[in-house]
Amino acid sequence: MSGLRRAAMRVGLEVGLREAGNGERLHGAISALGGDRVRVWIPDLRYSIILPSALRGYQSALDYPAAEAGSMWPEPVVADHPGPGPTGRDLLAHWTWAHQTGSSDQPHASRYLNAARQVLELQPGGVGTDLAALDMKDARHRFTAAHSARPASTLSALSSHFRRAVEIYRNQYAAAAPNATRTLITLGDGRTVTVLAPPQPTSTP
């Protein structure tokens, strides 16, 4: 399996990785780049149990050669349903995960999630809206027209948050391997999440 090139790494990118010590499969988001290692925030409810769930987890580090050799790959969260993407469901699944786990570098995950819900519900395709074909200008106009009685500043903020939510997620989705498929994975703390992951290599006898 091809790894994640250093040039494609950025803080906040959702990734899958193999832990250097025991080879455990992990899922998280890049939290820092620099030096000789990439650092990844791994959400895990077993850690720091007195803290809110979004702050519970730990940092894992992987050296760049290992990451590029196949120990790390782009792995965005998607909705747990079959079908093409990315769609509005995938957008909501991603920002719900980011909000609940603190796995994104974006401090406004809850705002992005709220804006996405409000704007998508007014689109003809609803949460099934194809994000690849979404006309952002039309979507925002449809939203503001339906809520013309609300303060202009509120509508402007929500429209802006929706635009950023879509832009960031489109970049996440586009980073995934061309042959990636929806895969249900189990995290170390027992939770499951559906991600867009490349096929795992099969062993040969």
| pLDDT tens digits, one per residue of 133-157 | 999 999 999 999 999 999 999 999 9
pLDDT at position 203 over 70: no
Domain-located, residue 111: yes
- Residues 134 and 95 placed together within one structural domain of the fold: yes
Domain-located, residue 202: no
Residue 156, phi then psi, degrees to nearest 5: -65, -45
pLDDT at 105: 60
Q: Which residues pair with 195 in a beta bridge?
A: 77, 183
For residue 70, give its domain range.
6-75+176-197
- Residue identified by tokens 């996405």 is 116
- Please say whether the dihedral angle defined by the alpha carbons of residues 169, 174, 180 and 186, taken in this order, is positive or negative: negative
Q: CA-CA distances (angstroms) from residue 103 to 39, 70, 199? A: 12, 21, 23
Of 182, 166, 185, residue with least CA distance to 83: 182
pLDDT at position 202 over 70: no
pLDDT at 158: 95
Q: Which residues pair with 197 in a beta bridge?
A: 181
- Residues 92 and 118 placed together within one structural domain of the fold: yes
pLDDT at 26: 93
Looking only at the bridges linking them, the beta strands covering 72-74 and 181-186 are unpaired
DSSP code of 129? -
Q: Which residues pair with 38 in a beta bridge?
A: 33, 62
**pLDDT category, 184, cuts 50, 70, 90?**
very high
pLDDT at 205: 45
Domain-located, residue 82: no
Q: How many domains does the chain have?
A: 2
pLDDT at 89: 94
pLDDT at position 163 over 90: yes
Helix ranges (H only) for 37-129 are 64-66, 88-101, 109-120
pLDDT at position 51 over 90: no
pLDDT at 200: 67
Domain-located, residue 132: yes
Domain-located, residue 157: yes
Of 157, 87, 98, 156, residue with least CA distance to 123: 87
* Percent of the chain clearing pLDDT 70 (strictly above): 94
pLDDT at 27: 95
pLDDT at position 82 over 60: yes
pTM of this structure: 0.86
- Residues 113 and 187 placed together within one structural domain of the fold: no
**pLDDT category, 106, cuts 50, 70, 90?**
low
Cβ neighbours of residue 199 closer than 8 Å, sequence gap 6 or more: 1, 179, 181
Q: Mean of the pLDDT values across residues 110-120?
A: 95
Domain-located, residue 205: no
Q: Mean of the pLDDT values across residues 39-45?
A: 93
Domain-located, residue 203: no
